[in-house]
A and B are shown apart, each in its own frame.
Chain A
Amino acid sequence: MPGCIGAIDCAHWQWIKCPKALARQYHDRKGKRSAVIESVCDEDTYIWHFFILAPGSFNEKNVLASSPLMLDVNAGVWPPPILSYTLNGRTRRLLHYTADQAYPRYHIFAMPHPAPNTRKLLVYNRLQEAVRKDAERLYAVMPSRFNIVLHPTRFTTVERMINTGKTVAILHNMAIECTRTGFLAHHIMQGAPGITADRMGRQADGNASGRDDGRDEDAGGHGFFVNDWPRGPGVWGPPMPAGDQGRDP
């Protein structure tokens, strides 16, 4: 999707050794004790934003309101206003995340249309689901890689739980960088226009470690995706005929 900078989703991590003092707070809607993980990832399931602090009684809206991601968005710091994308001849500056319908209707979220009845909306929903499924896939890939997330945790303090969750996320990112040579996010980060190194360095401090030295082959300018855009009916839906683009069926 043009202008999309990741897919956002939440998941619950069950906590069976939750202290009684925190039991009400961490009581989720299924009757268990759990903490909520909020994350933003891309199609490599590389985690770009990871927030594990919220008690299980929060839904996605509450988690979002307390997450540092939304603090930056509300402060106007994020997404960076120097980036733009062009779609149908119109240039927009606000990049967006793909989210599901549980999120509030902010303009930073591209949500599926609730009742798609035109071909334009159907194609949009299909495209949106194709991007959004990566956020769901993260919650299958990361627990299968680090099974400690899969099982209900037995920590007795919140700090241990947060540290373990962050560790798993960092190790997951390191594993993704190790498994692939042509790492997509590095290309995108290198090719992003106007992004200074320190902003990237916030993310790449501990887990990138300069591994992408010898393979910057095509990240010269911005727009890594321009020629490598995935095409075909399997991903983006059947190609529409040239005559009725965007019309109703």
Chain B
Amino acid sequence: MYNEPWWKRSVNATGRLQSHPIQKLVAALRVLGYGEAYDRPDEYCRLSRSTICEATRRLTDLIVGSGSRLTYAVLSRTS
């Protein structure tokens, strides 16, 4: 996540700071954890719903695509 420029805090053309990465991450995790719609945690996180949608998409793509393969491994209960 540190290597992704989208998750860094950016400054727009007028010089204002944009949303903090923790805002985006909390919003994405609230969507996943509470099953909320994208425009539900906007008042909590002060983000727009499109940002939350993109944050969720980027978080899922990051977790799934970052070499973390969820597959079976051995589980030996033998003696």
Contact = CB atoms under 8 A, between A and B. Distances in A.
A164 interface: yes
Q: How large is the interface on B (under 10, 10 to 19, 20 to 34, 35 or more residues)?
A: 20 to 34
Nearest to B57: A160
Contacts of B64: 162-163, 166-167, 170
A15 interface: no
Given A170-B68, A203-B71, A222-B78, A148 B32 contact: yes
Contacts of A202: 69, 71, 73
Interface stretch (A25-33, A83-91, A117-125): A83-91
B77 interface: yes
Interface in B10-59: 31-35, 37, 56-57, 59
B76 interface: yes
B74 A83 contact: yes
B74 A207 contact: no
Given A86-B78, A191-B76, A225-B79, A167 B69 contact: no
Chain A residues touching B, majority SS = mixed
A203 B56 CA distance: 23
17 contacts: A5-B74, A6-B75, A48-B71, A48-B75, A79-B74, A83-B78, A95-B78, A145-B33, A146-B35, A160-B57, A164-B60, A167-B64, A171-B32, A173-B70, A195-B76, A203-B69, A222-B79
A207 B68 CA distance: 7
Contact of B75 (A5, A50, A223): A5
A104 interface: no
A132 B77 CA distance: 15
Given A49-B71, A147-B35, A202-B69, A163 B78 contact: no
